[in-house]
Structure 1
Amino acid sequence: MTVALFGTGLLGGAIAQRLLACGEELWVWNRSPERHASLQRLGAHPAATPQEAASQASWLITVLSDGPTTRELLLERIQEGLRGRTVIQMGTIGSAESRDLAEAVSSLGGRYLEAPVLGSKPEALAGSLQLMAGGPEELFEQARPLLLRLSAEPVRLGEVGSAMAAKLALNQLIASLSHAFSLSLHLVQRSGVEVEAFMALLRNSALYAPTFDKKLERELTGDYSNPNFPTAHLRKDLALFEKAAQASGLETMGLEGLLSLLQKATPAGLDPLDYCALHALTAGRTAAAEQP
């Protein structure tokens, strides 16, 4: 099958590499054309415009930064080019945004499947992303051969909106777990407790999550470069979760402080760095300015 992929950033670029390694014919488009170069060397066809890419393929994969950007691409730039084509929307957007997109794509003669993923560049390159889908069951089955290139076990959770809700719920856990661990780590260090002694206790408890060890070295060294998931995206997704949760009647007051803290990442220059740079913000008076 011929695929057109829109958005060749951190995750999108890795997905493109995986599809090429699996032998798919791939057209790529990005707002920054220089990102096409490495993919072109691997066999991708670079498109000058979204319309050109869409015209070459029946399957259109979007991996863009947010809902408004995705909507603008599909409904304002490609528009009628969606007729007879299937959009697999993999970027993390709001559940309501996804449902609105599905309706709009359908009105233009296209089909729509949301397929957000848990995992980043390493998992995408290995084809081991955790992929959750929302949309018609028949469409999910038709897309399965393509989805299996990216995930060993793609799962359909329900209609459009369901997979996005699950994805936002998972990313809320990323933010909350990272925040909780960061505060605990700072406190034990400032109290003179050896980090490894604390970690041994934590690892042997029901409180342990593997992400703690995954991010420990970065937080101890203050090296948040080469991100798998940038801080700006974590903040965006947490805000989307809060909005969805409030629309469902949930009490989200506990998240307001964390969102407020993450707003400080922008002036601190942490937005493009790995999301565990949150550790620099929880440091309080030691300040993000002291981080490398």
Structure 2
Amino acid sequence: MTTITLLGTGLLGAAIGQRLLQVGFCLNVWNRNPARCAALTGAGAQQLNQPVEGLEASSVVITVLRDGPVTAKVVGSLGPLGGRCVLPMGTMGISESIALAEQVRLQGGSYLEAPVLGSRPEALEGRLLVMAGGDPNLFEAQLPLLRQLASEPRLMGAVGTGAASKLALNQLIASLTHGYSLALRLVQSSGLDIDRFMEVLRPSALYAPTVDKKLQRMMSHQYGDPNFSTSLLRKDLLLFLREARLAGVNAMALDGLANLLKRAVGTDLDAGDYSALHELTDGR
């Protein structure tokens, strides 16, 4: 039975871990906050005091950590990798992923970036969207594992293309949510009934399913129990802006949205569902 080391057991990492246990993998788990491993250890995972402890028995190391610098630090603590594959599934910058690939090579391992789109429900059901970047042969070798998490894992290209795909998609999440919130604010201020507006929007080419997913939260102003927080949305948007500038892309139109999201820092909105962005578009 294959043993995997999972580093990072937040909302998404824990769900990925649960899925791997359900489909029969042996699992070693580590988190900076050991208490966040409790659900997985209760389901049969082995908890590690240090990330390196489970390395000898593992063939693959999956990381689901907050960002690129944290991932590089934790992976660095593993020391020599002995040919093992490192699969980062969290969001990081294109340049960060390329640098981490080189770090892993110097540590004697192989590297396949595999960021995912989706959250806890999709992870538990094996319906994540996996956007891999790296060597095609390595991708083929890891397909049996990736297919337990996604029905159609995709190889986007070389290292960096998976990271670019994930950042582009998360930027769309931020922009779509912002645009929808602005539309709702104007519609409401005019006295138009939201349901009447939605009857026009849904059959149009402008409609996106995320609109209905977030409408109830925005209308009820309830943002608890998030799968993806305002804080993480802001982090990823700022990362997109940094990478866009490195690539020579003029993304200055997004600076206002980034500044708007910064207003959530230190408030309850930051830990809430990212649709809490709707509270920030109230100009009164």
TM-score (norm 1): 0.95
Query: Which residue of structure 1 lines up, in the alignment, with residue 45 of structure 2?
Result: 44
CA distance in 2, matches of 1:104, 1:8: 23
- The AA in structure 1 aligned to 2:8 is G
Query: Which residue of structure 1 lines up, in the alignment, with residue 223 of structure 2?
Result: 224
Query: Which residue of structure 1 lines up, in the alignment, with residue 173 of structure 2?
Result: 174
CA distance in 2, matches of 1:128, 1:150: 6
Q: Unaligned stretches of 5+ in structure 2? A: none
Tell me the secondary structure at the aligned position of residue 270 of structure 1: helix
Query: Which residue of structure 2 lines up, in the alignment, with residue 28 of structure 1?
Result: 29
215-224 or 267-276: bigger deviation: 267-276
Tell me if structure 2 keeps the 8 A contact 1:59–1:86: yes
> What percent identity do the matched residue pairs reach?
54
Query: Which residue of structure 1 lines up, in the alignment, with residue 239 of structure 2?
Result: 240
CA distance in 2, matches of 1:181, 1:161: 30
Q: Deviations over 1:67-120 (max 9, x none)?
A: 111011011x2122x222110010100000000000011011011110001100
Query: Which residue of structure 2 lines up, in the alignment, with residue 17 of structure 1?
Result: 18
Query: Which residue of structure 2 lines up, in the alignment, with residue 79 of structure 1?
Result: 79
CA distance in 1, matches of 2:185, 2:55: 49
Residue 68 (structure 2) pairs with residue 67 (structure 1): yes
Deviation at 1:55, TM superposition (A): 2.7
Q: Unaligned stretches of 5+ in structure 1? A: 286-292
120-129 or 51-60: bigger deviation: 51-60
Deviation at 1:284, TM superposition (A): 2.1
Deviation at 1:191, TM superposition (A): 1.4
Give the alignment's Cα RMSD to 1 decimal. Answer: 0.9
CA distance in 1, matches of 2:114, 2:194: 39
- The AA in structure 2 aligned to 1:126 is E
CA distance in 2, matches of 1:211, 1:149: 25
Residue 152 (structure 2) pairs with residue 126 (structure 1): no
Tell me if structure 2 keeps the 8 A contact 1:29–1:53: no
Runs (4+) of structure 1 exceeding 4 A deviation are: none
Query: Which residue of structure 2 lines up, in the alignment, with residue 153 of structure 1?
Result: 152
Deviation at 1:131, TM superposition (A): 0.5
Tell me the secondary structure at the aligned position of residue 271 of structure 2: coil
Query: Which residue of structure 2 lines up, in the alignment, with residue 140 of structure 1?
Result: 139
Query: Which residue of structure 2 lines up, in the alignment, with residue 290 of structure 1?
Result: none
CA distance in 1, matches of 2:68, 2:268: 24
CA distance in 1, matches of 2:47, 2:89: 20
Aligned residues: 283
Tell me the secondary structure at the aligned position of residue 79 of structure 1: coil
CA distance in 2, matches of 1:116, 1:53: 22
CA distance in 1, matches of 2:266, 2:90: 25
- The AA in structure 1 aligned to 2:139 is F
Q: Deviations over 1:268-290 (max 9, x none)?
A: 332211110000111122xxxxx
Query: Which residue of structure 1 lines up, in the alignment, with residue 255 of structure 2?
Result: 256
CA distance in 2, matches of 1:191, 1:92: 39
